[in-house]
Structure 1
Amino acid sequence: MAISASEIPPASREPIRDRFLAALDIGGTKIAGAVLDPDGAVLHRAERRTPAAGAAGEVFGAVRAVLEELAAVPEWGRVATLGIASAGPVDIARGRVSPVNIPGWRDFPLVDQVRALPSASGLPVLLCGDAVAMTAAEHRIGAARGCRDALCLVVSTGVGAGLVLDGVIRNGPTGNAGHLGHISVDLLGEDCVCGSRGCVEQLASGTSLTRRALRDGWRPSGPADGAALAADARAGDRVALATFDSAARALAAGIAAVATLIEIEVAVIGGGVAEAHDVLFPPLRDHLAAYAVLPFAASVRVERAALRADAGLVGAAFLAAERRSAEAS
């Protein structure tokens, strides 16, 4: 049975039970890989820093190194599928990626390059956006479990999102449906790396948070990173608190727009910035109450992702296994 590229089979479909699963999660900061059991438990991990400013071959070299490390584990010989979650935009039909935060990869043939590696020889490979993978994991076993309509966001180096509608993950013909990070919420805002302006990502991503805080006068006592900014916000630093408030406002505007458009039940937020949930979520919920005012949108709730850093790996593994099972049935 052929499955449309615009939808992922429902999360109730059972994965392959007698084999192991493999996954990659490619982002602007790190490239992670794992071998998992059929229920999504991570058995082995491998990770490399993403040389985000490097040429295409250098970035792919990190992917190759992760797969080679995984291929050395005993379970690799019984791996049934390989799921790849990548920062977007992605083109799932052509197996190509153009991550905004990895300039060296523009229309990069990721799936073909992976299939050509000895470590991946013969494995069915499925590409998806990293936020779609996170959505699959959270819908199947995480904070969106049991929800018919949900929005799941990855707020990290960039901002990605995926949609669950009528119990099915809808990723669109190219795999980018629900890409909330590049919806403009500030029509007169700063230029975004995507070419638009005032995007959610421009206001709420981890890199944008620290950059704007420094511009506005933040003086960190140590490394100027998201963890330090969150710590200073907890300590009452005025600039740090204002920066998180601005990010929360942007996210709230985006979530409210989605809730108004398609009546979602929940917005699940994961990624590195969500680790600062104690300083991000209170203003986010306050701003959301101000933006999502119509009765059918006002009930949307905000939850922290349950699978945290593993969501992309688990979701990519599930999607690849479920697609193979669906096509074989």
Structure 2
Amino acid sequence: MHTDRSGLVAALDIGGTKIAGALVDDHGRLVVRAQRPTPAREDAATVMGAVAQVLEELARAAEWPRVLAVGIGSAGPVDASRGTVSPVNVPGWRAFPLVAAVRERAGGLPVVLVGDGVAMTAAEHWQGAARGRANALCMVVSTGVGGGLVLNGRLHTGPTGNAGHIGHISVDLDGDPCPCGARGCVERIASGPNIARRALDTGWRPDPGGDRSAAAVAAAARAGDAAARASFERAAQALAAGIAATATLVEIEVAVIGGGVAGAGDVLFAPLRERLRDYATLSFASGVEVLPARLGSDAGLVGAAAAAAQELGLWTPPTAG
């Protein structure tokens, strides 16, 4: 087991829009950064080429010889047991052997893969709103809804790196079909595009030629638009049901919510906390706190490094600055 506090982890945060990379130290600081757009509509080799460019840029940094491992947080599904990824928004990658490809380009360093929701969870537990909590659910509510779990003080990834994927818990048994194949999933109700879709379907009207995003719906809700407010309240209800189910199952202390939709602030959090009282009713679940995430857009990189550090026994326990 390494305890080399001078060591770094090379982190990759891979999504449908961008591939971000950084060298991360044991305080969660991003010492060197690199980024490329994701060629999401191209073939597998072209997408991997962009990842390789990010790695090559990091490897040119003077600090690269201090790198002990590579941590990857990727849009999913991922399969950490096989080292493969099949991101929904990168159709050229289906069961793509990302871990082997990165290991080859990183000089044989150990590589740890987790889903992007798990990476965000690792970051928030290490440096953010879940710091100091032994049991937590962290969620990304954005274009989709993802998440991850901390249990007994450690990141709980599950065998394939997807544990805590709360977006595909069904909270409406006869609800709308979800693209995942199930019905009434949290994501089908609470994601940004679904909040906007429902608001439009029930009478919200954006400014002519205007913004149809969840952020625009949030602004309308703050201004008193009934359909916009109702859509956020429905999303809050779905999130509350999912959080309560998780609290009942594994006894979490806190639910941390990040992602673009969390930027709505009290438009989301006020009804969410209120509805949580309706669902988290048992004594051991009723005390769960709901907090906004703190780390923002760097969470994926910080969390990919933290996940690798935990799995490989680097910086144990991680220190925080």
Q: 3-state SS of the aligned residue for 1:297?
A: coil
Superposed displacement of residue 197, structure 1: 1.5
The Cα offsets for residues 291-327 of structure 1, whole Å up to 9 and x where unpaired, read as: 1112221111101112122222111112223333369
Q: Name the Cα RMSD after superposition.
A: 2.4
* Aligned residue in 2 for 1:138: 124
Superposed displacement of residue 51, structure 1: 4.3
Cα distance change on mapping 1:39 and 1:182 into 2, 3 Å: same
Q: 3-state SS of the aligned residue for 1:63?
A: helix
* Aligned residue in 2 for 1:185: 171
**Pairwise mapping of residues 35-184 of structure 1 onto structure 2 (< 5 A)?**
35-117=23-105, 120-184=106-170
- The counterpart of 2:304, out of the listed 313, 316, 324, is 316
* Aligned residue in 1 for 2:319: none
How many residues are matched? 314
* Aligned residue in 1 for 2:222: 234
* Aligned residue in 2 for 1:306: 294
1:236 partner letter: G
Cα distance change on mapping 1:55 and 1:209 into 2, 3 Å: farther
2:69 partner letter: T
Q: 3-state SS of the aligned residue for 1:298?
A: coil
1:144 partner letter: A
> Which TM-score applies when normalising by structure 2?
0.89
Cα distance change on mapping 1:29 and 1:210 into 2, 3 Å: farther
* Aligned residue in 1 for 2:198: 212
The Cα offsets for residues 12-39 of structure 1, whole Å up to 9 and x where unpaired, read as: xx86311222211123343322222221
Contact 2:69 2:308 in 1 (8 A): yes
1:291 to 2:279 alignment: yes
- The counterpart of 1:255, out of the listed 229, 236, 243, is 243
Contact 2:4 2:315 in 1 (8 A): no
Cα distance change on mapping 1:217 and 1:113 into 2, 3 Å: farther
The Cα offsets for residues 168-202 of structure 1, whole Å up to 9 and x where unpaired, read as: 22221112222111111111111111111111111
1:28 to 2:16 alignment: yes
Q: 3-state SS of the aligned residue for 1:232?
A: helix
Cα distance change on mapping 1:43 and 1:235 into 2, 3 Å: farther
Superposed displacement of residue 80, structure 1: 2.1
Cα distance change on mapping 1:49 and 1:282 into 2, 3 Å: farther
User: Matched residues in 2 for 1:138 and 1:162: separation?
Assistant: 10
- The counterpart of 1:197, out of the listed 176, 183, 192, is 183
Superposed displacement of residue 142, structure 1: 1.6
Cα distance change on mapping 1:244 and 1:47 into 2, 3 Å: farther
* Aligned residue in 2 for 1:243: 231
User: Matched residues in 2 for 1:38 and 1:225: separation?
Assistant: 37
Identity of aligned residues (%): 64
Contact 2:4 2:314 in 1 (8 A): no
User: Matched residues in 1 for 2:5 and 2:40: separation?
Assistant: 36
